[in-house]
Amino acid sequence: MPTVSMNVNGRPRSADVDSRTLLVQFLRENLRLTGTHVGCDTSQCGACVVQIDGEAVKACTVLALSCDGSNVLTIEGLANGNELHPMQEAFREHHGLQCGFCTPGMIMTAVDLVRRKGNNLDEMTIREELEGNLCRCTGYHNIVKAIAAGARNMGSAPQSKAAE
Amino acid sequence: MSATGIGASIPRQEDHRFITGKGRYVDDINRPGQAYAFFLRSPHAHANINSIDIKAAESAPGVVAVYTGDDIAADKVGGLICGWLIHSKDGSPMNAGPHPVLAQGKVRYVGDHVAVVIAETLAQARDASEKIEVDYEVLPAVVDLASAQSGAQIHDVAPNNVVYDWHLGDKAAVDKAFASAKHVTKLELVNNRLVPNPMEPRAAVGEYEEGTDSLVLYTTSQNPHVARLVLSAFIGLAPEHKFRVIAPDVGGGFGSKIFIYAEETICVWAARKIRRPVKWNCDRTEAFLCDAHGRDHVTHAELATDADGKITALRASTKANLGAYLSTFASSVPTYLYAPLLSGQYNIPAIYAEVKALYTNTAPVDAYRGAGRPEATFVIERIVEIASRELGMDPAEFRRKNFVTTFPHQTPVIMCYDAGDYDASLKKAQEIHDTAGFAKRKAQSESQGKLRGLGYSAYIEACGIAPSAAVGSLGAGVGLWESAEVRVNPIGTVEILTGSHSHGQGHETTFAQLVSGRLGIPIDNVSIVHGDTDKVQMGMGTYGSRSGAVGMSAIFKALEKVEAKAKKVAAHVLEASEGDIEFKEGKFTVKGTDKSADWGTIALQAYVAHKFNGQELEPGLKESAFWDPTNFTFPAGVHICELEVDPATGSTTIERWTAVDDFGNLINPMIVEGQVHGGIAQGVGQALLEAAIYNDEGQLITASFMDYCMPRAHDLPSYAVGMTTTPCPSNPLGIKGCGEAGAIASPPAVINALTNAVGHENLQMPATPERVWKAAQGARLRQAAE
């Protein structure tokens, strides 16, 4: 089996994997980073979104081997120690989650959205940009509010470096 | 109100682990030495199995075991059960066909369980399953309600595929009322079939502990104790005291995780056979094929009105598709969860409903968010709307004229509404929505070539399920109380053990708010324990919006006992008589003196037992309670949907949504509003987007998120949510329940708005752009002519 090496949440990680192993399987099964979830098998739901080299990617659409040498950030690496990332804090503050299953993917997508579109996000932009993330609990109302607030706070609060 | 007590919109206690990726869902659990299960499923909707050859699969790389229905039969593993016995009009019991966990000579829907392969890895199990050879004799498939009674017979016990032919109400009284009606409104409607799709697919890890000869099942369940009861007492895997069921964090349920399914059963059965843990994780396509679906009714309804526009009678004739097998509570959904709600918020003197439940070669159909009540609400709120239009009355005024206004109100269909103020909700909804400004907004839309419509839905539902004796008399196989235990630790922190189960509802917060407020202790000193049959003695679980009204009432009752005991301890500590002890805001005081002791001191004294005689007063501070409801609860409200249709494309945009609900007293308004938002989204999904569609061969052609249209953020509006409050008189907290209201209220609001926009009633759910475009053509021509 080939060996794959990558930097995950700031730590070098390496394992021998079956070549068909997806990144999400590598994270969940090899590294036991179970915060990244699998909610479908057609790359539709977005529960598995992580960042690869700073960009949001559905971890069910990439082979682990293709991430060799990359920097991967998962939900577990988003907070700065005990200090929550502003987007995490905003989801909590605005009740942007219920069962929590879609939440890691939502937060990772939202952080990437701010990187691409800035700190002032209107409702329509947020709703359009969430087309790759499904939530069955919240009706999105509070997720939209949380992302708008989190985006604003990311502009004013000191950041975890890893999340940039 | 204390800062963290009842009524406070505090952020959720459980959120930290979910936003940091530290939730613990079943698929996150891995046990040493576990093997992986993969199910070979039927590719045919209806077929006899002539033979199954598993030899090649058994010798494939990594395979530990391959099992078929023969192994299930040899081990005498019982079949899955339906726990609610319905009797037909003629008194005969329903025709329940056997429901084996692996097929016994016949498959009855695409996805039916044929064999299980257990291997070292999931990939090996999946690969090996392709080596199993099954010789099928394909039979004609029965797919839809229209042809079910004339199609091939699916179960030997059910001629014409009829499960039951049931009725409720006084037919003679209804016929008499119709004979003298001034006006009769008629309605044909389809309540479309839905797939629940919680974001977390089902999963299971079964484990056998050889030293104690006992079983452990980690499962995605809304009711782990019910799962243990069924797996133990009916399926016969192990007695309850040798069987632990754990439902840890569960990623949404919406009803679909109430039921006891084949896969979970087989994981724990196989774990004992191979002496290793067995893990199974459902993929999304399997979830589409095999999770119990929801709704799927076809109904003809008629409403009689008199010369004053008063409703005099309602009759409804419904066919309900229950799929290929009776799922755990399937039989109750189109009967006692449906017809007793047909009175809506209205004073209707006579109601008669008849329901024919049918087998088809499709996935089993059971409770999905609302379960029967959305179907009833769709019937009554569509037909009331149409009646008002036919009579030339304002839809809101027609409703108002017929509202129940005095309580208690006994309907002709079982339910006795205990409290409500329906006019208050309607008035408030109209104000928030600015219905007065609708005409102006409609004119604006029309000036841009768009059609605009406004639709009401004045829903009622029955929650707080349910008084045990009452449901027992209607055929339920279980009692529907809830249990709680309050354990006070010596330093005064509190653990609450509850039989309710949280899978998104926020019980770790709301239940703790009750305790924090009642005992006057910080909310961080309270922990909520649920979802483990080894920790919580018994429980009935979470569904039917029952955890507040029933689950919290049990906690309330146990807290009363704890307080009473703590007062006895305080009396000894403060050297006063028990009757003089008062407890308020975490402090025990002696009436008329300055003597006091705080909560923590009394908790410690209860355990050290130095100040009282342990023979007269037992040491310790721990109490439990079971709460059996005295009535259902009746949440009700008014939702208003306002939307715009582009007649050129058929696309529908919801412009405004107002929801005013009466849930009785609220524990955490922020969480309640979140429940409303999510419910509306599912109802809008049903009205505009979602449909489980089988082709004529019984293949589910909407079996992925690419084909089944789940509501996405850009499909939905933001919602204006308001509340009115009439406390529920049937439980000590005055709670009615809020979990299902949005999904119950919203479909008729959408369709009433759409039919208002296009100017006729011929529009079925889901109102896809194609259907709306067709419906809008008449309106478009009218508009062009003006």
| Contacts of residue A25, Cβ cutoff 8 Å, sequence gap at least 6 | A64
* Burial call B404-429: b when 16+ CB within 10 Å, e when fewer: beeeebebbbbbebbbbbbbbbbbbb
Whether the pLDDT of residue A160 is over 50: the answer is no
Q: How many Cβ atoms are within 10 Å of B762's Cβ, its own excluded? A: 11
Which of B11, B283, B680 is opposite residue A139, by nearest beta carbon? B680
Question: Mean pLDDT over all residues of chain A?
Answer: 95
Looking at the DSSP bridge assignments, the partners of residue B302 are B186, B315
Q: Name the nearest CA neighbour of A151 among A126, A115, A114.
A: A114
Distance between CA B540 and CA B544 in Å, rounded?
11
Tell me the Ramachandran region of residue B535: left when phi exceeds 0, alpha when psi lies from -120 to 50, beta otherwise: alpha
CA Rg, chain A, in Å? Answer: 15
* Burial call A47-81: b when 16+ CB within 10 Å, e when fewer: bbbbbbeeebbbbbebbbbebeebebbbbbbbbee
Distance between CA B645 and CA B651 in Å, rounded?
6
Q: With cut-offs at 50, 70 and 90, classify the pLDDT of residue B125.
A: very high
ipTM of the complex: 0.97
pLDDT digits (tens, 9 = 90+) for B252-293: 999 999 999 999 999 999 999 999 999 999 999 999 999 999
> Please, what sign has the CA dihedral across residues B421, B425, B431, B434?
negative
Distance between CA B765 and CA B703 in Å, rounded?
19
In this complex, is the C-beta atom of B506 within 8 Å of any C-beta atom belonging to chain A? yes
pLDDT digits (tens, 9 = 90+) for B6-54: 999 999 999 999 999 999 999 999 999 999 999 999 999 999 999 999 9
- Tell me, what's the pLDDT at B786? 66
Q: Using an 8 Å CB-CB cutoff, list chain A residues near B281.
A: 38
Q: Name the nearest CA neighbour of B82 among B289, B266, B335.
A: B335
Q: Using an 8 Å CB-CB cutoff, list chain A residues near B25.
A: 34, 37, 101
- Tell me, what's the pLDDT at A56? 98
| Contacts of residue B57, Cβ cutoff 8 Å, sequence gap at least 6 | B63, B66, B115, B117, B128, B129, B131, B132
* A21-B124-B248-B8 Cα dihedral, nearest 10 degrees: 40
Q: With cut-offs at 50, 70 and 90, classify the pLDDT of residue B779.
A: confident
Note whether B714 contacts A47, CB cutoff 8 Å: no
- Tell me, what's the pLDDT at A162? 43
Contact between B313 and B347 under an 8 Å Cβ cutoff? The reply is: no
pLDDT digits (tens, 9 = 90+) for B628-673: 999 999 999 999 999 999 999 999 999 999 999 999 999 999 999 9
Q: How many Cβ atoms are within 10 Å of B390's Cβ, its own excluded? A: 15
Note whether B23 contacts A101, CB cutoff 8 Å: yes
In this complex, is the C-beta atom of B294 within 8 Å of any C-beta atom belonging to chain A? no
Longest dimension (CA), chain B: 93
Contact between A37 and A105 under an 8 Å Cβ cutoff? The reply is: yes
* Burial call B344-367: b when 16+ CB within 10 Å, e when fewer: bbbbbbbbbbbbbbbbbbbbbbbb
- A108-122, A128-142, B325-339, B770-784: range with lowest mean pLDDT: B770-784
Question: Which of A60, A74, A99, A129 to mutate to test binding with chain B, by most B CBs within 10 Å of its CB?
Answer: A99
Distance between CA B508 and CA B668 in Å, rounded?
12
Q: Name the nearest CA neighbour of B215 among B235, B232, B233, B234.
A: B232
pLDDT digits (tens, 9 = 90+) for A28-84: 999 999 999 999 999 999 999 999 999 999 999 999 999 999 999 999 999 999 999
Q: Using an 8 Å CB-CB cutoff, list chain B residues near A20.
A: 123
Q: How far is CA B739 from the centre of its chain?
A: 8
Q: What is the mean pLDDT of residues A12-24?
A: 96
Q: Using an 8 Å CB-CB cutoff, list chain A residues near B12.
A: 92, 95
Q: Name the nearest CA neighbour of B311 among B417, B409, B386.
A: B386
Q: Name the nearest CA neighbour of B315 among B358, B354, B345.
A: B354
Whether the pLDDT of residue B780 is over 80: the answer is no
Whether the pLDDT of residue B489 is over 70: the answer is yes
In this complex, is the C-beta atom of A123 within 8 Å of any C-beta atom belonging to chain B? yes
* B759-B761-B762-B765 Cα dihedral, nearest 10 degrees: 110
H-only helix segments in B222-324: 224-229, 262-274, 284-290
DSSP-based three-state secondary structure for B604: helix
- Tell me, what's the pLDDT at A163? 44
Q: Name the nearest CA neighbour of B720 among B760, B752, B676.
A: B676
For A38, nearest residue in chain B (alpha carbons): B200
pLDDT digits (tens, 9 = 90+) for B195-216: 999 999 999 999 999 999 999 9
Note whether A134 contacts B18, CB cutoff 8 Å: no
Which of A33, A92, A99 is opposite residue B250, by nearest beta carbon? A99
Q: What is the mean pLDDT of residues A6-15?
A: 98
Ramachandran angles phi, psi of B560, nearest 5°: -60, -45
Q: What is the mean pLDDT of residues B383-401?
A: 98
pLDDT digits (tens, 9 = 90+) for B579-606: 999 999 999 999 999 999 999 999 999 9
Note whether A20 contacts B11, CB cutoff 8 Å: no
Note whether B18 contacts A103, CB cutoff 8 Å: yes
Whether the pLDDT of residue B171 is over 60: the answer is yes
Whether the pLDDT of residue B558 is over 70: the answer is yes
Q: With cut-offs at 50, 70 and 90, classify the pLDDT of residue A156.
A: confident
In this complex, is the C-beta atom of A44 within 8 Å of any C-beta atom belonging to chain B? yes
H-only helix segments in B403-474: 422-433, 438-447, 468-473
- Tell me, what's the pLDDT at A157? 59
Which of B673, B705, B718 is opposite residue A42, by nearest beta carbon? B705
Whether the pLDDT of residue B520 is over 80: the answer is yes
Rounded to the nearest angstrom, the minimum Cα separation between B226 and chain A is: 21
| Contacts of residue B692, Cβ cutoff 8 Å, sequence gap at least 6 | B192, B193, B194, B195, B288, B293, B296, B363, B700, B702, B708
Whether the pLDDT of residue B518 is over 50: the answer is yes
